[in-house]
Structure 1
Amino acid sequence: MAYWLFKTEPDTFSIDTLRAQKNSCWEGVRNYQARNMLRDDVKQGDLVFIYHSSCKQVGIAGIARVVKESYPDHFAFDPQSDYCDAKSDPSNPRWMMVDIEFVRKTERLIPLALLKSMPELSELPLVKRGNRLSVMPVSEIEWQAILTKETLAK
């Protein structure tokens, strides 16, 4: 099992949305590096921190589990979708997605400021300046360190 962090804008899709839906596809990833991780590395059973970004209170809001491995992101072929990519071909899809299920919300939002203050996370791409990836790996040590701070988050 591996660990991941998936970023989302809560105005579009939040941990509460996932809780209400119980499971959902994780579509709309339009960065090649993030796509490659979804396609090649994210596996069924992996655990995922759901991270709220581009909002007033950024941070880890919950945990999900991957329930279906990579498959073509069909929204890329839908001209009505915000995620449409006219250059993507169904016979050779450019974009991939996975399905995740709700596990739980964190006891409190774990804010980015707290994550940045943790020496154990110094190599986590999220806390490095200029990182914009929407999908990133989290080591087991980083995962456990974040969970130990969950109850301390303010």
Structure 2
Amino acid sequence: MAYWLFKTEPDTFSIDTLRTQVTSCWEGVRNYQARNMLRDKVKVGDLVFIYHSSCKHVGVAGIAKVIRESYPDHFAFDPESEYFDAKSSAENPRWFMVDIEFVRKTQRVIPLSVMKAMPELENMPLVKPGSRLSVMPVSDDEWQAILEKEAGAWL
């Protein structure tokens, strides 16, 4: 099992959306590096931090589990979709998605500012300047450090 962090804007899709839906495809990834991780490395059973970005409370908001490995992102074939890509086809897909399942919300959002101050996370791409990836790996130690911080007294 591996660990991941998936970024989302909560006014588009949030941990509460996933909680209501229970399962969802993770579509719309349009960065090649993030796509390659989804396509080649994210596996059934992997756990995922759902990370809210571009919002008032930026940070880890919940946990999901991967329940289906990568398959073509069919939204790329749909001219009506905001994720349409004219260069992608069912015969030669450029973009992939996975399916995830709600596990739980965190006790409270674990803010990026708190994570940036954690020495255990100094090598995590999320806390480095300029990190824009929507899908990124999380090491075992980073995962545990974030979970331990969840109940911490940092407020």
Normalising to structure 2: TM-score of the pair?
Answer: 0.98
In structure 2, C-alpha distance between the alignment counterparts of 1:118 and 1:60, rounded to whole Å = 14
The answer to whether the aligner puts 1:99 opposite 2:94 as a matched pair is no
Counterpart of 1:115 in 2: which secondary structure?
Answer: helix
- Superposition pairs for residues 80-99 of structure 1, below 5 Å? 80-99=80-99
Q: Which runs of 5+ in 2 are unaligned?
A: none
Counterpart of 1:70 in 2: which secondary structure?
Answer: strand
In structure 2, C-alpha distance between the alignment counterparts of 1:100 and 1:90, rounded to whole Å = 22
In structure 2, C-alpha distance between the alignment counterparts of 1:57 and 1:135, rounded to whole Å = 19
- Superposition pairs for residues 5-154 of structure 1, below 5 Å? 5-152=5-152, 153-154=154-155
Query: How much identity, in percent, do the aligned residues show?
Result: 77
Shift of the alpha carbon at 1:90?
A: 1.1
Shift of the alpha carbon at 1:126?
A: 0.2
Counterpart of 2:80 in 1: which secondary structure?
Answer: coil
In structure 1, C-alpha distance between the alignment counterparts of 2:86 and 2:30, rounded to whole Å = 13
Q: Which moved more, 1:102-111 or 1:84-93?
A: 84-93
Counterpart of 1:12 in 2: which secondary structure?
Answer: coil
Matched residue type, 1:102:
F
In structure 2, C-alpha distance between the alignment counterparts of 1:52 and 1:151, rounded to whole Å = 18
In the TM superposition, what whole-angstrom CA distance separates every residue of 1:22-76 from its partner, at most 9, and x where no partner exists?
A: 0000000000000000000000000000000001110000000000000000000
Matched residue type, 2:92:
N
Shift of the alpha carbon at 1:123?
A: 0.5
In structure 2, C-alpha distance between the alignment counterparts of 1:34 and 1:20, rounded to whole Å = 26
Matched residue type, 1:21:
Q
Normalising to structure 1: TM-score of the pair?
Answer: 0.99
Kindly report the root-mean-square deviation, in angstroms, between the aligned alpha carbons of the 2 structures.
0.6
Number of corresponding residues: 154
Matched residue type, 1:134:
S
Q: Which runs of 5+ in 1 are unaligned?
A: none
Shift of the alpha carbon at 1:92?
A: 1.0
Matched residue type, 1:71:
Y
